[in-house]
Each structure stands twice: as structure tokens, then as C-alpha cells.
Amino acid sequence: MNLVLLSTLLATAVGAEPSVQIKDGLIQGFTSNKVEHFFGIPYADPPVGDLRLRQPRPLSKPLGTFDATSSPRLCTQKIMASDLPIIDTWPESISGSLRAYNSTSNNQGEDCLTVNIQRPIETKSDSKLPVIFWIFGGAFEQGSTNSSDWSTLVTKSIEQGGVIIVAVNYRLNTFGFLGGEELQAEGATNLGLRDQRLGLEWVHDNIAAFGGDADKVTIWGQSAGSISTYYHLLINNGDNRSNRTGKPLFRAAIMDSGTSFDAEPVNGTTAQAQYDHIVSAVGCASSYSTLDCLRAAPWQKIYDATNTLPHLVSQDGFSIDYVPRPDLSSPFFTSAKLTPSQNVVDVPVIVAHQEDEATIFLQPTSSVNTTAKLINMVHKQFPSTPTSIFETLISYYTNNTSYGAPFRTNATQDVMYPHSKINSAVVSDIAFIFQARSFLDTIAGPQPSVNWSSPVYALQGSYFYGTPIVGSFHGSDLALLAGGTTGMRMGMRMEEGETLRKEGTIDGIG
């Protein structure tokens, strides 16, 4: 939700401003198009100064009367795409979806741990509406609660009784997912996940005042938010109970393009090298305590250092630098993959992915134009997997241009460079589809390896398979679900005559 959208919403606001009394203060919002909006409500103390690179701390001071009508600050963003000359040949309506990853904002910083709440007009404190807890995506490097507007979905939900949507901001990149032994020693790992968990605790304690039912919370995420949602099934050895009440923080989960993401431990070689790089780039390498030095450094220095790391998308490949990493020194997050020895939160789940997930990332990587370069690229992303495994895996793919992602094209359409379609197909499978199917097989396959009693649903999104170059790419479904993200609504189309089906509600979801 950008400033133009916000100003439009404010301009169309009608009637008395809604307000909600919670234990920390009076929250004042605004109404627009049959939806009441409350933006930027703090759920934690600002993680600034000595609280930088520490676990989030619940609010320690009352809010008083809080104006929740302004677009909230974004958590610090990382520029995610380097110069990509090949996209200059694309239609602007499509290239804009990728250029959105390079968008910057002056309204970003560390004091960003807030939630946005959108609910149907005239919701009362005793309405007890179901709640969606939305976790945005962006490769754990970029994104915010401002990325999507849920007004349409909230309005549509009124026909079936209404729903409240809470979107959570959490720390990203260096500020939220930096690893290394120094952070591990202080219990300050996977901070972005810890932010989300504290946000869930805040919703559990406060959503009733907004007319929500704390016993009917569904967590839903896309991309990095989907991976986060999956991890919330595993966190604390599968214990999703509130610290205060002992009751579950959520009753269902929706994973939209992401489950497990293979990552070395938080004190492993990759994480430590990343920590050391940031320390050096900030100018803290000679400090007695490099972590204290990072906490005292100007924000701009850390921001600049963060952007010296490889970009998510470049001509040379696809690289995710910041991810949640297992930390065996704490019970909070010990494994990125569900195993038979683990406990898991057994709730109804939807596991979804798009037909052409990786095209938006791999179609521009014009330097990765041979099988050897493709193998090298995926091995760099997943270094714990032997190269021989990728060599065998990729040998099963054909570079026949009639195949590959996007899948529903003819032999000549959408071939951006040699290997573009096989690159997109391979990374779609490795990063998204294999992981989803592995999770589904673990909980609901012919021989599930964990005990799971709740309903399981799976789907593949292919609504936009007619979109040139990228097909039903990663994130394209947000155009249907939440008004899209910056640059995403343009250029996507369904094949002529195709319609969207209106699905019924799923018992236990929502």
C-alpha cells in the first residue's frame, strides 16, 4: 500500500473515525470503502540503540492515544536486484514487477515493529470474527505490511460473516536474520521469526478488543512469509501456545509459495562469513566486541554494508543471502525441516505454489547460459548438497524449448537466452515445489513419517499462465488475493475465456 493508495483511502473515509481501547492505549483508525483501518500499531519496543540485534521486547510503555491512520515505517530494506539490461526488452507492464524489487523508500528504519489491522465496518468488540495473521514475503530481505491492501478481501468476507486481517512487520536482512557465533552466544538469532512470534502473542492478547476471536487465528504467508508460516509449525518443538494463557496462538496455516528452505546452521561457515563481512564493511573488525560495535554504528552504515552483499537477482544468478538458520543452542528454532523425531503443530493446512515460480527471478539471469553454470549457481545457494546431486538431478531436465518454465508456451516464445527455460524450471522445483511436496509427503503421503490428523489441502496456481515471459510467476497470485504489490497488477492476464472459480470455505481455515 503506497502513499497514493493511502491518500485515496483517507480521502474516501466516511463517518466517525473508529477507535479501539486496548490495555496499552486508545487506537484511532479510519474508515474507507466499508473497511476500518488501523495502521502501524506497535507490538514491541523499538529495536534501536542497545536493543538492536537483540530479541524483541514486549511494549514497556503505554501508547496513550495512538493515531493509526498513517502509513507505517518499513523495516530496513535491502535492494534486491542489480542492473538487468535484459528486462529493458520486456513490456513495461511485466518488467515493472521485477523493478519493484529495487524500489526504495525514505520511510524505512529500525523502529518498525508494528501491525496493520483491517476489519469490516461496524465490527464490535463482541463480534468474535475469525482472524488472518498475514506474513509478507520478500526473501527475508525486503517487504512490508504496506505491500498489499486487503480491503477487497475484507469486503468480500462480509458475505460470509466477515474476517479481520492483521499484517505484521518484522525485521529483515542484517537487522533480522544475521547469523554468526557472536549472535548465537547472546541468543539473538532468527530475530525476524521472533518478531513474528511476538506479533502473534500481541494478537492473542489484543484482537478481541478489535472484534476478533483469538481462538480462530489462521497464519498465512507468501514466499518468505510462507516459509515463516511453515517454521511456526516447528518453532519451540511444535509448541504454539501463548506464553500468557497457554492457549494456541493459531488454529490453521496457509503456505503460499514456500515451505522449508535448506540452510546451514546459524553458526556455520556461510552465516559466519556473512557476519564477518558485515562487521568489516561497517568498520567494526578491530573492535573488542564486534557485536557491540554493530549496535552502536549509525543505521546508514549497516544499511550500506547490507547492500554490498549479492543481490537476489542479477545477470549472474539467483542468490538468497538472509534466511532463518537452525540454532541448536536454543529450543526456539532447531531445524528447518520436519523430521520424524520432531513435534509439529497439527492444524489444518493449505500448501500452495505457482506453476512458474522462478521465472521472475531466472528469466533475467542471462549469464547462466550453460548446464555447468546452472549447477554452480544452485550449489552456491545450497552448499551443503554435493555438486554430484545437482548434476544427476539436472540431467533429467531437457533444454528443449518446448518445455521448461513458463510451461505453457510454444517452442519459440519466451526464450530469453540459452537455458532460460530450464533454469526457471530447475529453480522452481528446487526452491519451491520439491520442498512443498516433501512436506506434503511427510504429513499426508502414502506412508507419512509423522502423526498428522488435521485436514491437508494442496493447490497449484496457474491463473496467469498466459502472461508473456513469466507465466504464473512467484507472487502473481497476490494480484488476486490482496490487490497485488507495487508493479504487480499490470501485465498479467489469463488466457481468453478462462474464469476464476469461487471456492467455498474450508472447515477450520479462516
Amino acid (1-letter code) at residue 146: N
SS3 label, residue 411: coil
Catalytic residue among 147, 148, 223, 476: 223
Helices 387-395 and 420-428: crossing angle in degrees, nearest 10, is 120
SS3 label, residue 130: strand
DSSP sequence for 288-355: SSHHHHHHHS-HHHHHHHHTTSPPSEETTEE---------TTSSS---SS--TTS------EEEEEET
Q: Per the structure block, which three cell numbers stand in for 249?
A: 496462538
Question: Exposure pattern of 281-300 as b/e (b: 16+ CB <10 Å)?
Answer: bbebeeeeebbebbbebeee
Beta-strand relationship, 64-67 and 19-22: unpaired
Distance between CA atoms of residues 183 and 333, nearest Å: 14
Residue carrying the nine cell digits 547460459: 369
Q: Are 69 and 28 within 8 A, CB to CB? A: yes
Catalytic residue among 37, 204, 419, 474: 474
3-state secondary structure 131-185: EEEEECCCCCCCCCHHHCCCHHHHHHHHHHCCCEEEEECCCCHHHHHCCCHHHHH
- Which residues have a Cβ under 8 Å from the Cβ of 11 and sit 6 or more positions away? none
SS3 label, residue 198: helix
Distance between CA atoms of residues 399 and 299, nearest Å: 46
CA angle in degrees (0–180, nearest 5) for 357-358-362: 160
Is 127 designated active site? Answer: no
Q: Per the structure block, which three cell numbers stand in for 3?
A: 502513499
DSSP sequence for 13-64: --SSPPEEEETTEEEE-EEETTEEEEEEEE-B----GGGTTS---B--S--E
Distance between CA atoms of residues 142 and 17, nearest Å: 32
Strands laid side by side in the 129-135 sheet: 30-32, 35-42, 114-120, 164-168, 129-135, 212-222, 252-256, 349-354, 456-461
Q: How crowded is residue 397: how many other Cβ atoms within 10 Å of its Cβ? A: 17
Is 223 designated active site? Answer: yes
Distance between CA atoms of residues 425 and 467, nearest Å: 16
Distance between CA atoms of residues 38 and 383, nearest Å: 43
Is 472 designated active site? Answer: no
Catalytic residue among 71, 357, 419, 424: 357
Q: What share of the chain is helix, strand, coil (3-state, %, to 5)?
A: 35, 15, 50
Active-site positions read 223, 357, 474
